[in-house]
Amino acid sequence: MQPRIATFFNRNLLIARSAICVAAVAMACCLILPGLNGAALAQSAATTVTQPGPQAVPGFWDPRRRPDRPDLSKLTVIRFLTETDYPPFNFTGPDGNPAGFNVDLARLLCEEIKVTCTVQMRRFETLLDAIASNRGDAIIASLAVTPQTRARLDFTDPYYRAPARFVARKDAVLAEVRPEYLEGKKVGAISGSSHEAYLKAMFTDAELRPYANDDALRAGLRRGEVDFIFGDAISLAFWINGTDSEACCAFSGGPFVESRYFGEGIGIGVRKGNDLLRQSLNWALFRLWEKGRYTDLWLKYFSVSPF
């Protein structure tokens, strides 16, 4: 079955099939997005989601620091690259086209800038090399901003973080988690992870229990081996809301976002020196946040907020 190219233009969705050559075998499929409308689709989908509290949506944009509008007329096309399999951020939809939070965000950015875009799915480990060899213009694939990635790319402002949170069984949830509250409590974390390192540094009176992987960690909480687990809030949110948790557990306290342990955030990576594209994406991200469209998109995907 051949991958599909979906073309969006003036509210009309035209779908055409296109063969992908052997040289592009890393590409799972390619989605063409125009800089025109389509907002009604995202808004109507978002209305079916129960609105969480005001802290549920991450905010990285300061209304007092409005970015200047760059010369968008110099942009003729944006070739986005994303990962093949990291749901709900990137995955192949039922129609064979790229789907997920990052893909929908790329669509909204293109509508705001009013430029035609493509989204190409590639294996995560090939993304940086693809940008370096001019096979794409921007990576929108939940790529963390770190000293290592900054050495190869320039980044937009963060558009979300991957915070850390505690989870407990529902009969033991705490509204707030402080080090003194966990004195003598058994707390699980993935062995060798930044979450384990944070617990060792900040929650010194807790009894730390290391686990080999996520499955073992979560099973340990369900079985009562530990009182709390501490880990990536985004994956934990999907576990809590999914069937694997058997409705056992819930978040305790709020998010932890210490950049020394959990990174600077997730940005869109562009080729070094491509200031026009980086500034255009920053301007469009701010506009989407200002209009409430980023919030609508976030709530569409995260019914249990990681924040």
Please check whether residues 10 and 110 belong to one and the same domain.
yes
Residue pair 124/108 in contact by the 8 Å Cβ criterion: no
Please check whether residues 208 and 174 belong to one and the same domain.
yes
| Chain position carrying tokens 């540094």 | 201
Please check whether residues 50 and 90 belong to one and the same domain.
yes
Please check whether residues 138 and 178 belong to one and the same domain.
no
Residues constituting the chain: 307
67 in any annotated domain: yes
For 208-215, the CB contacts below 8 A with 24+ separation are 214/190, 214/239
CA distance 95 to 171: 42
Please check whether residues 104 and 39 belong to one and the same domain.
yes
Decide: residue 28, CB within 10 A, 0-12 exposed, 13-18 middle, 19+ buried.
buried
Q: Which amino acid is at 255?
A: P
Handedness of CA 186, 191, 194, 200 (dihedral sign): positive
Tens digit of pLDDT at every position of the chain (307 positions):
333 333 333 333 233 333 333 333 344 445 555 554 433 333 333 333 333 344 456 667 778 888 899 999 999 999 999 999 888 899 999 999 999 999 999 999 999 999 999 999 999 999 999 999 999 999 999 998 988 899 999 999 999 988 999 999 999 999 999 999 999 999 999 999 999 999 999 999 999 999 999 999 999 999 999 999 999 998 899 899 889 899 999 999 999 988 889 888 899 999 999 999 999 999 999 999 999 999 999 989 887 777 7
What Å distances lie between residue 76 and 53, 72, 73, 117, 130, CA to CA?
39, 9, 7, 9, 20
CB-based contacts of 234, cutoff 8 Å, min separation 6: 162, 163, 306
Helix (H) or strand (E) segment spanning residue 121: strand 116-122
Please check whether residues 189 and 53 belong to one and the same domain.
no
CA distance 294 to 58: 10
109 in any annotated domain: yes
Q: Which amino acid is at 133?
A: S
Decide: residue 205, CB within 10 A, 0-12 exposed, 13-18 middle, 19+ buried.
exposed
CB-based contacts of 201, cutoff 8 Å, min separation 6: none
Residue pair 198/268 in contact by the 8 Å Cβ criterion: no
Please check whether residues 134 and 236 belong to one and the same domain.
no
Number of domains in the chain: 2
Please check whether residues 171 and 289 belong to one and the same domain.
no
Question: Would you state the pLDDT for residue 58?
Answer: 63
What's the domain range around 170? 164-262
What's the pTM? Answer: 0.71
20 in any annotated domain: yes
76 in any annotated domain: yes
Please check whether residues 246 and 190 belong to one and the same domain.
yes
Q: Which of 186, 230, 179, 237 is nearest to 209 (CA)?
A: 186
CA distance 118 to 260: 34
Please check whether residues 35 and 135 belong to one and the same domain.
yes
CA distance 117 to 110: 6
Please check whether residues 228 and 272 belong to one and the same domain.
no
- Looking at the DSSP assignment, which residues form a beta bridge with residue 269? 139, 155
306 in any annotated domain: no
Please check whether residues 128 and 209 belong to one and the same domain.
no
**CATH of residue 105:** 3.40.190.10
307 in any annotated domain: no
